[in-house]
Structure 1
Amino acid sequence: RKKMDSGFPDRVYLLASVIYQNNHLEKPAAQRLVSYGKERGLRLPEVKDEEMHRAAYELAFSTLKYQELLEDMMIDSCCYLTQLMMSLVAVMLYDFQNRKFLPRECKVDEIVQEVRHVEDYLLRFKTKLAASLARCRIKHDLLSIECILPESVKKKQQRSSNLPLYAWVNTLKSSLDEIQSVLKSAGFSQVKSIGQLEGQTFCQDPHCGDILVFPAQLKAQLYSTKLLSDHKLTIQDKSCSLGPNAVCSLLHEEGDVLMVGSFSGLTVSHTAALIAEKYKANSINWPSVYVCVNNCTDAQREELELTVSAMGCNSKRKQMYVLEWAVSIGLCLCWRQKRRQKKMEQKKAPGC
């Protein structure tokens, strides 16, 4: 994604504010000068555009890093709205100062009244906010606001900026050969090892055959190929892919997968895709993936279902596995037992 110095669409700010609301650091009451209300676990607004979705998360977590500084600016300049609006104020203030307090140019998309209201409010406080930031930089002798971050955070940022990008091939929608062909036609060159990654190159991961590795700075170029937006290639930390690959390699024909705990829709989809690819030649005895969602909120469950659907898990064309949503582990095990009995009956039936 190109840096949006002119600002973001309204929907990006709205989504970023909800992410911030759900994740901000809540201070003790005696130290809480800026209140965001008590709401947590709010449902995320729907943003279908992948680039806008990613921009919202980046904006939200950038705001979280500078929560203390932004709150100091709000207090010092007396910039304060109702509790329900303060998360939106925070994310828009971060972007506002990042644009050197210049008005945004990106206003052609859908209008969200709350966003426009906060934007007008911040513009009225523009001089006070800029002065507040200047005083903070002078007080702490900061060349830039990045200097206020703890050394541990700076090191993590530096380390993460140098880490290669890992992306797994969604075999429910594509294949490794197709992805490699598209990348090469887009100007990428394939190398043999991670140590050779430089410029517009990629290589296959030595441990997980469905994972491709890219230099860190190539995320924007990958989006330009539409492989990411079409969900044929998915960027995810390699640690998230080790579990699905390990399970798939150990799973035998009579086994099933039960997913319990904290995981994303992408991990569910990856597990299902690997199993579907491994057993695609077997039209009868393919394993099932059971997902236990008893600890999920309605919003989290809906987000999981939307993600796996977008990844192609509900595709009739490649429905070579069963993806079940269960409200408890007991129900998962019950379903599994019934399914195993059905398999046994199919094997015993004449002509099977």
Structure 2
Amino acid sequence: MVKNRKIRRRSNCSLTKSTKETDTSTASSKDPTPLDDPADSDIHAALPESQTIGQGQRGFPDRVYLLASVIFQNNHLEKPAAHRLVNYGKDRGIPLPEVSDEEMQCTAYELAFNTFKYQELLENIMVHSRFYLTQPMPDDQMSLAVVILYDFQDRKFLPRKHKGKEEIIQEVRDVENYLLRFKTKLAASLACYRIKHHLLSIECILPESVKMKQERSKRLPLFTWVNTLKSSHDEVRHLLRSVGFSQVRSVEQLEGQTFCQDPHCGDILVFPAQRKAQLYSTKLLSDRKLIIQDKSCSLGPNAVCSVLPEEGDVLMVGCFSALTVSHIASLIAEKHKAHSNNQPKVCVCVSDRTEAQREELQQAVFTMDCKNVKLIPEVFQSLNGFDKRLKKVCVILLTPKCSVSAVSNPVEMILQENGDTNLLQDLSQGSIAQSKLEALVAQQRKDIDHALTCECRTTGSHVLMHTHLDTHHVISVLNAQSLSPL
């Protein structure tokens, strides 16, 4: 009965806009609740059992929070002063902290992306709990506070679990300690918000398009392609069967230790999503014989291979990863292996990449055993059909920058395929600003026009455009050109 009274009292709370108060007693107050306060059980009683800690996650390394906070600071939605609950300072365009670990970088972007989704909710929690009003933190640390708060509530306000020796970033630890001292009030504010708005979970406040993509991403299987430069389809299947996998006929039959061949792309093998760790244990992934990549990235390479003649080269232009370059090289080498001394080349425009990125790309394709890739440092628009390097080009694969609005997991796609991270805030809300769409379409038209100019000067060549846009966005580009998207 006591718990019920507490819950009813919290349900009368309202999350309204507040400003920092000048009252000295309020400004200097601290939340006296200790970390193991039994009142926490009341807060958890107000939360449905369905809200559990995501995949047993108990926090991230300090550097993940720091990187995520800078991403949030540079791209968060800045509201008009009259509607602003939390001030994050005026700094934008802050250089990102150096992170060499790709998994850690991806985790930080995912954390920032989730914080974008719930920015308004998290700000309400900080204001209503009086955390924002009473903690002695400068505005430029509020991005770090809101990022840590998102993760804090995601693990039901349990303290972070540290693993062995970790890098300590004092700024992160200080902000985390402020939040820990306020955990009871923060949890109460979240419970109050959910009760007031009748939310079974915080996901209920997301736009329908975002919720749909979020749910779809959880159900997506794991797509891989066979790198025939290091192995063969038969060898990969044999190795999979030797460790307990069995092949089924369709994606619908995937369950447990199974895999199947993709019905559209013959070199793609599909697995249940939860089998990723088991695949790593086979060394197929670490030996680069089997490559994990979203299926949408494989459509372009397979389309190129299907129209490429025996003695024709490929020109790649736009946003793509070393994996996509290697995939095309692998498919071409397999298709033309009878002519090993005179195989088609994959020419790659890399003018938009730094010297370090070019070296990284070159090293990546070398690791994949690609010997038929040539980097072209010039800007695509400066090339023409009379360039000797393009003399044998028969296919131009154009992968322009786009909004990735058709992708269920935009963070992974943008990071893997060298996309535009500035779009993440828009994508977190389910729509792209019209000005950004117009800029993307203008650049696509420019690239298409030049690709068609080059194509006209090369007999029998093809121009293929590959995007991750929703269909209605693609049509606006293609109406002006007789070109079909992949």
Instruction: Tell me which interval the TM-score lies in, with the shorter structure as reference length.
Output: 0.7 to 0.9
1:67 aligns with 2:119: yes
Q: 1:28 to 1:183 in 2, by over 3 A?
A: farther
Q: Which residue of 2 aligns with 1:337?
A: 388
Confirm whether residue 92 of structure 1 aligns to residue 144 of structure 2: no
Partners of 2:97 and 2:385 in 1: how far apart?
Answer: 33
Which aligned pairs between 1:239-258 and structure 2 lie closer than 5 A?
239-258=296-315
Residues in 1 aligned to 2:390 and 2:126: alpha-carbon distance in whole angstroms: 59
Residue pair 1:276, 1:320 contacting (<8 A) in 2 also? no
Could you say if the C-alpha distance between residues 74 and 185 of structure 1 is closer, same or farther in structure 2, counting changes exceeding 3 Å? farther
The answer to whether residue 386 in structure 2 is matched with residue 326 in structure 1 is no
Q: Report the counterpart of residue 183 of structure 1 in structure 2.
A: 240
Deviations 1:185-206 (A, max 9, x none): 3322111222322222111112
**Paired amino acid for 2:351:** V
- Over 3 Å counting, the alpha-carbon distance change for 1:23 and 1:226 in structure 2 is farther
Q: Which residue of 2 aligns with 1:344?
A: none
8 Å contact 2:349–2:379 — kept in the other structure? no
Give the 3-state SS of the residue equivalent to 2:366 in structure 1.
coil
Give the 3-state SS of the residue equivalent to 2:320 in structure 1: coil
Out of 54, 61, 69, the position equivalent to 1:9 is 61
Q: How far off is 1:336 after superposition?
A: 5.4
Partner of 2:348: 290
The offset of 1:57, in angstroms, is: 4.0
Q: What residue is the counterpart of 1:132 in the other structure?
A: 189
Match of 2:47 in 1: none
C-alpha contact (below 8 Å) 2:316/2:346 kept by paired residues: no
- Would you say 1:155 and 2:207 are equivalent positions? no
2:83 equivalent in structure 1: 31
One of 141, 151, 160 as aligned partner of 1:104: 160
Instruction: Please give the alpha-carbon distance, in whole angstroms, between the structure 2 residues aligned to 1:275 and 1:83.
Output: 54
Other structure's SS at 1:3 match: helix
Return the offset for 1:173: 4.5
The 1:322–1:158 alpha-carbon spacing in structure 2 relative to 1, beyond 3 Å, is closer
Amino acid at match of 2:245: F
In the TM superposition, residue 313 of structure 1 has moved relative to its aligned partner by 0.5
Number of residue pairs matched? Answer: 332
**TM-score, normalization by structure 2:** 0.59
Greater C-alpha radius of gyration = 2
Mapped partners of 1:289, 1:10: distance in 2: 41
Asked if 1:218 corresponds to 2:275, the answer is yes
Mapped pair 1:271 → 2:324: no
Give secondary structure in 2 for the equivalent of 1:101: coil
Partner-residue secondary structure (3-state), 2:374: strand
2: CA distance, partners of 1:222 / 1:127:
42
Change (3 A) 1:89 1:231: farther
Deviation for aligned residue 1:242: 0.3
* DSSP-derived class of the 1:208 partner: coil
Q: Which runs of 5+ in 1 are unaligned?
A: 342-352
* In 1, Cα distance between equivalents of 2:290 and 2:66: 27
Q: Distance in 2 between matches of 1:277 and 1:16?
A: 41
Moved more, 206-215 or 83-92: 83-92
Which residue number corresponds to residue 200 of structure 2?
143
Alpha-carbon distance in 2 for matches of 1:244, 1:96: 42
Map of 1:221-240 to 2, 5 A cutoff? Answer: 221-228=278-285, 231-240=288-297
Q: Residue 25 and residue 225 in structure 1: after superposition, are their counterparts in 2 closer, same or farther (change >3 A)?
A: farther
Matched letter for residue 131 of structure 2:
C
- Among 308, 314, 326, the alignment partner of 2:366 is 314
Give the partner amino acid of 1:287. Answer: K
Any conservation in 1 of the 2:262–2:270 contact (CA below 8 Å)?
A: yes
Contact 1:188–1:202 under 8 Å retained in 2: yes
1:5/1:291 CA distance change after superposition, 3 Å: same
Offset at 1:35?
4.5
Q: State the match for 1:348 in structure 2.
A: none
Give the unaligned 5+ runs of structure 2: 1-53, 393-486
In structure 2, relative to structure 1, the CA distance for the partners of 1:269 and 1:305 (3 Å cut) is farther
Cα pair distance change 1:309/1:74, threshold 3 Å:
farther
Deviation at 1:333, TM superposition (A): 4.8
Query: Pairwise CA RMSD of aligned residues?
Result: 3.4
Distance (whole Å) between structure 1 residues aligned to residue 116 and residue 146 of structure 2:
9
Match runs of 1:299-310 below 5 Å: 302=356, 306=360, 308=361
Change (3 A) 1:56 1:285: same
Which of residues 172, 175, 179 in structure 2 aligns to 1:118? 175
Whole-Å separation in 2 of the counterparts to 1:46 and 1:335: 42
Q: Provide the C-alpha distance between the structure 2 equivalents of 1:285 and 1:12, rounded to a whole number of angstroms.
A: 44
In 1, are the aligned partners of 2:73 and 2:91 still within 8 Å (CA)? no
